Structure 1
Amino acid sequence: MTATRLDAGREFLARRRFALVGASREEKSFSRHVLRELIRKGYDVVPVNPALAEVEGRRCFPRVQDVVPPVDAALLMTPPARTADAVRDCVAAGVRRVWMHRGGGPGAASPEAIALCEAAGIAPIVDLCPFMALPGAGWFHRLHGRFRGVHRESRRAIGA
């Protein structure tokens, strides 16, 4: 069976503890919405942003390598121009699982960030919104996944 983006996202979320790099200062931002929903669903999400000391009641770390205890996975919700630096931080921290968020906009991935992951032996998750892989995602996120071909990809992988 071929692994799909959706499978990779679900495997990532099965870890239950990971960093969310790019947690915004703006309470109404999408990254904060994702952070709140992950916390609500019981995930131990560690926010990372050098400009914040605390986010959603959780200690915020300036870089991935500053997280204590360390994480081995990171969800990057950074602008594409900053994602390569976030990947460098992940590699320096020993993070082996990287998810470059993609929602309705351009997402976090950049060619440089993807190349850095590949050079470090990391197969990044790209072109997938966390809500598409999150158990119990609402109808909007399932519909969004259908438009993006995520669910078709899963059905092809299982031969349905």
Structure 2
Amino acid sequence: MTDPQAETIHHILTTYRTVAVVGFSDRDRRKAAFYAPAYLKGHGYTILPINPRLTTGLNRPAYPTLADAPGPIDVALIYAAGERVGPLVDEAIAAGAKAVWLPIGVVDEAAAARARAAGLLVVMDRCMMVEHKHLDVV
């Protein structure tokens, strides 16, 4: 069976380089909101940590919101769930992101539809780090 997100995933991972990580956390380095961005940084991506409680993350300035981050933002990688996802996707749209990535276990079809209608690429229920490891062109 063909993965309907495969082409989008490949395009995002091979074309876009600046990733704003909404919900970045350095409190527990065993959590995906830390180790996935750290992995991506180690593979040449520019990481913009987004967390109002931090001033830095991965040796870079952290920003309270997507609107505060310097542009352009290629990908908004959103570590949130439930009713918090939709408003954060709307922030990504307003910030001019080119893509929204929701990690494993996070699906919001309504927010994804809004993002696609605004011209953004959308990936849901996937780990950006794991998908990068599966690339043939790493």
8 Å contact kept, 1:84–1:116: no
- Partner of 1:69: helix, strand, or coil? coil
- Partner of 2:102: helix, strand, or coil? strand
8 Å contact kept, 2:8–2:121: no
CA shift, 1:125, in A, is: 0.9
Give the structure with higher Rg (CA).
Answer: 1
Query: Is 1:68 aligned to 2:70, yes or no?
Result: yes
Deviation per CA, 1:7-31, whole angstroms, max 9, x where unpaired? 3222112212121111024232211
8 Å contact kept, 2:51–2:65: yes
TM-score for the superposition, normalised by structure 2: 0.81
Paired residue for 2:57?
55
8 Å contact kept, 2:40–2:129: no
Unpaired runs of 5+ residues, structure 1, are 138-160
8 Å contact kept, 1:5–1:128: no
8 Å contact kept, 2:17–2:74: no
| Aligned-residue CA RMSD (Å) | 2.3
Paired residue for 2:11?
11
Counterpart-to-counterpart distance in 2, 1:64 and 1:25: 18
Paired residue for 1:33?
35
CA shift, 1:127, in A, is: 2.1
TM-score for the superposition, normalised by structure 1: 0.71
Counterpart-to-counterpart distance in 2, 1:16 and 1:127: 20
Paired residue for 1:148?
none
Unpaired runs of 5+ residues, structure 2, are none
Shift of the 123–36 alpha-carbon distance from structure 1 to 2, 3 Å rule, reads closer
For 1:70-109, list aligned pairs within 5 A.
Answer: 70-102=72-104, 106-107=105-106, 109=107
Structure with the higher fraction of residues in helix conformation: 1
Counterpart-to-counterpart distance in 1, 2:92 and 2:33: 18
Paired residue for 2:127?
129
CA shift, 1:96, in A, is: 2.6
Number of residues of Structure 1 aligned to a counterpart in Structure 2: 132
